[in-house]
Amino acid sequence: MSGKREIDDVTGVETTGHTWDGIKELNKPLPKWWLMTFYASIVWAIGYMIVYPAWPTLNGYTKGLWGYSQRVAVTQEIEGARTAQATLRAALEKTPLAEVKNDPDLLRFAMVGGASAFATNCAPCHGRGAQGFTGYPNLNDDDWIWGGTLAEIQKTILYGVRGAHKEARTSDMPKFGTDGILKPTEIDDVAEFVLSLTKRASDAAAAGRGAKTYADQCASCHGAEGKGNAELGAPNLVDDIWLYGGQKADIVQSIVTGRGGAMPAWEGRLDPVTLKSLAIYVHSLGGGK
Ligand code: HEC
Ligand code: HEC
């Protein structure tokens, strides 16, 4: 190594003076920007270790000046969400049923709560999609046995149908067959008449005879035109939506037994906010009036 700067012949770059087996090392320092970034990251890393938790110790770890911890952050987030929920619950409890829809936040809160309470409490009878089963009404359509306004839906949910609650909706179709109110031939005729309401009668003469029985025995509840009466829980017979099935055998069976489906009361079993949310949820399903 000489004191004099040595220039490489091929590249024209200064060498460091180191030589291995005749190969010379060129003196090419790291670019400035690279070095600066390197030093800056060292400074940053030291700063990080000072303010954030960094090093394990025998019985824990260095907490850092800011005392940051993800566990604390998550706990705070959960606390925040709880407070927000409590606020919404309190607001929902106070807000009259009909006014909840005016507040988008409250409405969203009620819908989420209603959907989850529905899945737990109502889906076993009404189906996960509220589509219903034979004897258990579909809650998506706009055909309502007991009324489809928010208030009527809430009443049905609170007090139930034909149950023990003193406010329960009650109204019993007579057991025309079982109690011998009508003769089997009369039942057959009136069933033909009911079929004729949805243009499905196969025996016009029977349907004609049934029309008289219908007017005498059935119109008081189901209406002269068969459109039903929500005050009496008497289903519409002309819309071709059937709670118990629309085949002739099903209709005969309904007339013979009077059916008498029961829905439990939910007042006292679910809290008032959940009950309100359920009414809003069911009303929103598509058929709400
Ligand atoms: C044990 C079965 C059962 C459960 C559980 C049940 N229901 Fe019902 N629900 C019924 C039956 C049966 C009827 C029809 C009653 C009738 O024949 O009038 C009904 C009727 C209704 C109606 C009236 C429909 C109409 O057309 O007027 C609403 C609304 C309703 N249920 C909502 C609910 C909600 C909300 C829940 C959950 C909190 C629920 N139901 C849980 C059986 C059930
Ligand atoms: C006192 C009122 C009342 C009278 C009278 C009455 N019904 Fe009903 N009817 C009802 C009620 C209430 C239901 C619903 C029963 C239920 O939800 O379980 C019903 C249900 C029915 C259904 C089943 C509808 C469906 O969607 O599956 C048929 C069919 C029916 N009635 C026909 C008749 C005929 C025909 C007569 C006359 C012979 C008659 N009803 C008389 C109240 C009455």
For 158-182, write each residue's pLDDT tens digit.
999 999 999 999 999 999 999 999 9
Buried/exposed 105-117: b ≥16 CB within 10 Å, e otherwise = ebbebbeebbeeb
For residue 84, is pLDDT > 80?
A: yes
The rounded Å distance from CA 285 to ligand 2 centre is: 25
pLDDT of residue 214: 98
Q: Confidence band (pLDDT; 50, 70, 90) for 1?
A: very low
Where on the phi/psi map is residue 183: left (φ > 0), alpha (ψ -120 to 50), or beta? beta
Q: Confidence band (pLDDT; 50, 70, 90) for 69?
A: confident
Higher pLDDT, 33 or 3: 33
Exposed/middle/buried for 11, CB within 10 Å: 0-12, 13-18, 19+? exposed
Nearest to 163 by CA among 258, 263, 233, 268: 263
pLDDT of residue 260: 95
For residue 288, is pLDDT > 70?
A: no
Buried/exposed 181-212: b ≥16 CB within 10 Å, e otherwise = ebeeebbbbbbbbbbbbeeebebeebbebbbe
The ligand with the least distance to the CA atom of 259 is 2
Nearest to 284 by CA among 107, 99, 145: 107
For atom 40 of ligand 2, the residue with the nearest CA is 218
For residue 234, is pLDDT > 60?
A: yes
For atom 36 of ligand 2, the residue with the nearest CA is 218
Closest ligand 2 atom to Cα of 241: 26
Distance of CA 232 to CAs 56, 121, 287, Å? Answer: 74, 25, 19
Tell me if 263 CB under 6 Å of ligand 1.
yes
Distance CA 206, CA 251 (A): 15
The rounded Å distance from CA 263 to ligand 1 centre is: 5
What are the tens digits of pLDDT across the range 9-25?
888 888 888 888 988 88
For residue 129, is pLDDT > 70?
A: yes
The rounded Å distance from CA 185 to ligand 2 centre is: 18
The rounded Å distance from CA 275 to ligand 2 centre is: 29
For residue 132, is pLDDT > 90?
A: yes
Average pLDDT, integer, range 142-151: 94
Average pLDDT, integer, range 194-198: 96
The ligand with the least distance to the CA atom of 154 is 1
Higher pLDDT, 155 or 60: 155
Q: Which residues does a 6 A CB cutoff place in the pocket of ligand 2? A: 145, 171, 173-174, 176, 190, 194, 217-218, 220-222, 232-235, 237, 242-244, 251, 254-255, 259-261
Distance CA 81, CA 219 (A): 55
Task: State the residue for tokens 């017979």.
Answer: 237
What are the tens digits of pLDDT across the range 238-260?
999 999 999 999 999 999 999 99
Average pLDDT, integer, range 75-81: 93
* Averaged confidence pLDDT in the chain: 93
Give the least confident one: 6-15, 74-83, 121-130: 6-15
For residue 62, is pLDDT > 60?
A: yes
Are 122 and 262 contacting, i.e. CB atoms less than 8 angstroms apart? no
With a CB cutoff of 8 Å and minimum separation 6, the contacts of 53 are 61, 62, 63, 64, 68, 69
